[in-house]
Amino acid sequence: MKTTLVQMFAAALCLLPLPSIAADEAPEEIIVVGRLPGPPLWKVSNGDKVLWIFPYLSPIPKDMIWESERVERVIAESQEYIGMPHIEADTSPLLLANPINWVRGYRLVKRLQRNPDGASLEEALGPEVYARYAALKQKYFPREDRFEDMRPLLVGGQMSGLIEDEEGLEDANAILDRIMKLARRNRGMERTNVYVEIPLKGSFGALAKRAETMMESLSPAQERACFEQQVRHMEEDLANMKSRANTWAQGYVDEFRSIPLVGEESNACLALVMGSSESEMLVDGNARIAQAWLDAVDAALAKNASTFAVLEINELLNPNGYLSKLRERGYDIREP
């Protein structure tokens, strides 16, 4: 959730995707494709009232055909759908409607994506890390030359996406779209959108200055460390990412649990954004979105016989995550 919050803030400023974080070590793995059952559901109970939670994961096997019958049944029998917690930007519609601002925004992005002092990517990274990046580039995207003048912060996320695509992985938007279509079929179902808004009010000039301040506040050393971490994941952990995607798609949660999660204490990309000028927004947004989701669950378990929700699987498996808060509130939780 923490990285997603900053990604949303950057995107809302017309800006910049942050790097995604992969998983840790695992043996060589081949992606499983075809018709797959997908993951089992978590069950949270309050007496005879039940919340079913679908564990979201991304990336997943490309071209996976999801056998969604069980989820279809649960959604058809539920009175409420609680969406995955997310961030929305509170921006003036007039700001976005002005075509001049689209041109100004494009120029702003071009300016902010460059390294300070006009340095090249190689100069920003140093010879050792750049050589490792160059080896990945040669293997996975040899014809992609537009990254050479960009900041490591921006290259890392795009590099990871290109490599995941080549390795048979893709984001899970199709799964979320399928779940939303099933929810819309149940015309009597209440749909609860759990989100927090990032306040991005003000003129284009004010927001541009805020974006510039954020980028200027990033530590070059931490930016290099974040990029190096992503390079290391792409070098060493692709097999593990495939293993996680396979076990999720086939419903093998026990095997999924055996793959360690990346701890925040070793997350260089999180440290980078936490050291930025937007760190206060980050902390506040995460607290607010957690509270909003828990409040929605409390309300649902008080009134509905059955509720369906979507939550990131890492959050479900985190011993200090949202489920720990539900246990503290006295709910019974049955994990697959």
pLDDT for 186 equals 94
Q: What percent of the chain has pLDDT over 70?
A: 87
> Do residues 158 and 234 make contact, with C-beta atoms less than 8 angstroms apart?
no
Give domain status of residue 331, yes or no: no
Q: Are 190 and 81 in contact (CB under 8 A)?
A: yes
pLDDT digits (tens, 9 = 90+) for 19-53: 333 333 333 455 555 677 888 999 999 999 999 99
> Is residue 332 situated within a structural domain?
no
pLDDT confidence bin for 93, thresholds 50/70/90: confident
**Each residue of 125-140: pLDDT tens digit?**
999 999 999 999 999 9
Does residue 336 form part of some domain?
Answer: no
Q: Which residue has the higher pLDDT, 31 or 208?
A: 208
Q: What is the mean pLDDT of residues 289-314?
A: 96
Task: Provide the number of structural domains found in the chain.
Answer: 1
**Sequence-separated (6 or more) residues with CB below 8 Å from residue 325:** 290, 294
Average pLDDT estimate for 304-327: 93
Residue 116 lies in a domain: yes
- Direct distance between the N- and C-terminal alpha carbons of the chain, in angstroms, rounded to an integer: 23
146 is a domain residue:
yes
Higher pLDDT, 32 or 83: 83
Element housing 137 (H / E): helix 127-140
Does residue 192 sit within a domain? yes
What is the rounded CA–CA span in Å between residue 215 and residue 206?
15
Domain extent, residue 209, equals 2-326
Tell me the one-letter amino acid at 296.
A
Average pLDDT over residues 286-315: 95
Whole-number pLDDT of residue 190: 96
d(CA 233, CA 162): 14
Q: How confident is the model at residue 273 (pLDDT cuts 50, 70, 90)?
A: confident
335 in a domain, yes or no?
no
Range with the poorest average pLDDT among 6-20, 26-40, 79-93: 6-20
Q: What pLDDT is recorded for position 329?
A: 95
Q: Could you tell me if 200 and 105 are in contact, meaning their C-beta atoms sit under 8 angstroms apart?
A: no
pLDDT at residue 263 tops 80: no
Answer whether residue 243 is part of any domain: yes
Name the one residue in this structure whose structure tokens are 């076990």.
Answer: 247
Q: For 34-43, 66-75, 142-151, 161-170, which range has the lowest pLDDT when averaged over its residues?
A: 34-43
Distance CA(129)–CA(267), nearest Å, equals 17
